[in-house]
Amino acid sequence: MIRDQIDELFSKEMTRKEFLQHVGSGMLILFGISGLLSALTQSKPTQRQPSLGYGASAYGGNKK
């Protein structure tokens, strides 16, 4: 099935332009699928507590 299609593609004579088109489309498919899988498997980032920043302590000038 797929192996036959690959064998047919390898046995076919093609120009350099056609070869680069086949390689480029294969790379797009490969990176597209891997990017999609990584996007689906990533969990949502945990929310960090915001830092209080400069001036949040008594030494920074805030009075309670």
Model pLDDT for residues 25-34, shown as the tens digit of each residue: 988 888 888 8
Instruction: Say what the pLDDT of residue 21 is.
Output: 93
The pair of three-digit structure tokens given for residue 23, joined into one six-digit string: 């390689």
Instruction: Say what the pLDDT of residue 15 is.
Output: 93
Largest CA distance in the chain: 81
Contact 12, 18 (CB under 8 A): no
The DSSP result for 6-33, as a single string, is: HHHHHHS---HHHHHHHHHHHHHHHHHH
- pTM for this entry: 0.46
